[in-house]
Structure 1
């Protein structure tokens, strides 16, 4: 278990217990192997007890097979206890301590190891070291399964789908949104997701979308912000260390999504309040020129077109007029002030 700051928790503890030689670097820790459910579904009490008992027995059998501390291994599963490297060595959870790989190779030289039914002597003095690097596929999937990346992918996916539904035919937001959501749900299969937290985040987006079409004086936006914040905090069950959205990711994400939908709402509100510039309603308030005398009827030239017009006061040919209203194919005007 290395380098300093690393930990062998959950499955890492079982791998360490199963190793023929278990070593830890100073500043590392091991334990916290209590099982947690992954995905959206949560285990009931009966199933949870069954899994805990099974894993505790498995951890104990591994420790006994390698001559290590079986009692501590069982407590690591049942009680999620965790200990540092020096304590693990003292309790015989691991075999030795080593600062780095060269020191480890020196300490395990001539060490007897039992393989199957026979004992072999390790010869590690001066042997070449081959580092097995992670493949590209493994690195990509490991990053996608990070709780923070999965959270961001879900937010991008929901925002992209909203764009596509609000503006059909744009295509790109819908494609990006669909891909992001699929990747997020792939990650959720390997993470302890809280179903209520996921629903709260989806509900927040519903509130933001409704704010655009319903006059709520900001109440729906406020509800969306609270729902998004609470859902983000509750998205992962916290039984396993590190399974939570980091504050450095959560706060900027909530602010960006909130500002995004508030900005869209403001733009839509401005467009609805703006006077129409086309069609019949777009003529009201427009100015034009009397093409003939109006007394009270005549023709005017407005908005690039000739219209039959009516004026309550006489208007001479060539004078400026202003449109008051439109009825069918006839407009009512007055002299422009």
Structure 2
């Protein structure tokens, strides 16, 4: 009887704990959700904001975004701005001391219901840039300028000042942003900012990027996708020559992940074709072996990767050239390692002649299993196989012979004289 009684006590205790938690949560008339958007604005950040909005309850009074970024990708920026603009919950963006809302961050900040900046923070530099930091086509600049202007107007902000962030790549300090009606006010202390917004007594629910959001961020990086495709090809090739199933499984998984990432970022056909041609050229190094094919493959993969980046018009205010050179260097190193490995595989293949190459029998020693006479074939055992054998002399069973030439499945032999 003790065991059932103990079970009842445990169940009742769990019910009471659950009730206490629910009552505790209901005790707060207001809750706020806080998320951080730092570093690169990508699809992982969009997923984070979407999760925050979906987590909101009827008591959620605001979603606070602590923003500090140098920029990110256009597609992710569009998605985040759409989520903010359609949200039925007030969205507050807070740029901390020394923080930045450059490029993509400027669009997100302007889309918010309330924008508060700390001393030493800055917003702006939203001019679209292409690969290498060059200015984009005037049509694209005008389109982005009109978009940021419409965002500002929808939030009753200074549309002209917002437009200058794109057309003149202008930045605004916290004081300038308040002066030109871009930000609401300046506040150094985050908690005091919440008090001013009437949220000082609200229950805070902080949401951090989960495994899914981080996974999406990594998988949507074009350089990562290029490396995944190279890795997939190399692992599958290793599996072909060194069957363990592990290499084939890992290579297949890397290839599937790369395809998933290419689909998520909406890669165009030209970029995908260049990437696949690059992988094919690297694999061709096994056949050619002079190194040129691996180099060509690396170049094709680099151009394919650049095309993946090219579809994202913006949005870097840091040294894009440094980022680009670093990424290209990684791809070249990986391609070089892959090419070296494939070259070594080719050398091994050349040394190990194919079992189907019957000329390998020439010069081998065999044992006569059936008497051989001129014009009358016998049987010879050589290299663990039986062969129809011919000779110009009589050779008795059990004698050793040397294979002189091969004609189809027939071998021509000569007796090895006993010493």
Q: TM-score, normalised by structure 2?
A: 0.57
Match of 2:194 in 1: 105
Gaps of 5+ in 2: 1-93, 131-135
Match of 1:188 in 2: 265
Q: How far apart are the structure 2 equivalents of 1:320 and 1:268?
A: 35
Match of 2:77 in 1: none
CA change 1:284–1:9 in 2 (3 A) is same
Secondary structure in 1 matching 2:353:
coil
Match of 1:221 in 2: 294
Q: How does 1:1-337 map to 2 (within 5 A)?
A: 1-4=94-97, 6-10=99-103, 12-34=105-127, 48=140, 51-52=143-144, 54-62=146-154, 65-66=156-157, 69-89=158-178, 91-105=180-194, 108=196, 122-124=197-199, 127-134=201-208, 136=210, 139-140=213-214, 142-144=216-218, 146-147=220-221, 150-157=222-229, 160=232, 172=249, 175-189=252-266, 200-213=274-287, 215=288, 217-233=290-306, 235-237=308-310, 239-241=314-316, 248-277=326-355, 280-291=358-369, 296=374, 299-312=379-392, 318-328=398-408, 330-336=410-416
CA change 1:57–1:83 in 2 (3 A) is closer
Contact 1:151 1:184 in 2 (8 A): no
Contact 2:232 2:250 in 1 (8 A): yes
CA change 1:141–1:222 in 2 (3 A) is closer
Contact 1:158 1:181 in 2 (8 A): no
Secondary structure in 2 matching 1:93:
coil
Q: Give the number of aligned pairs.
A: 306
CA change 1:199–1:299 in 2 (3 A) is closer
Cα deviation, residue 180, structure 1 = 1.6
Secondary structure in 1 matching 2:204:
coil
Contact 2:390 2:412 in 1 (8 A): yes
Secondary structure in 1 matching 2:123:
strand
RMSD value over aligned CA atoms?
Answer: 4.3
Contact 2:149 2:160 in 1 (8 A): no
CA change 1:22–1:82 in 2 (3 A) is same
Contact 1:308 1:331 in 2 (8 A): yes
Secondary structure in 2 matching 1:152:
helix
Q: How far apart are the structure 2 equivalents of 1:223 and 1:79?
A: 40
Cα deviation, residue 75, structure 1 = 0.5
Match of 1:116 in 2: none
Secondary structure in 1 matching 2:172:
strand
Secondary structure in 1 matching 2:309:
coil
Q: TM-score, normalised by structure 1?
A: 0.68
Gaps of 5+ in 1: 38-42, 109-121
Cα deviation, residue 198, structure 1 = 5.7
Name whichever structure is richer in helix by fraction. Answer: 2
Cα deviation, residue 216, structure 1 = 7.2
The C-alpha deviation readout for 1:230-260, integer Å capped at 9, x for no partner, is: 4445542363116786655542333223322
Q: How far apart are the structure 2 equivalents of 1:269 and 1:202?
A: 25
Contact 2:400 2:416 in 1 (8 A): yes
Q: How far apart are the structure 1 equivalents of 2:216 and 2:365?
A: 66
Higher relative contact order (CA 8 A, sep 6+): 2
Q: How far apart are the structure 2 equivalents of 1:18 and 1:330?
A: 83
Contact 1:153 1:181 in 2 (8 A): yes
Cα deviation, residue 335, structure 1 = 4.2
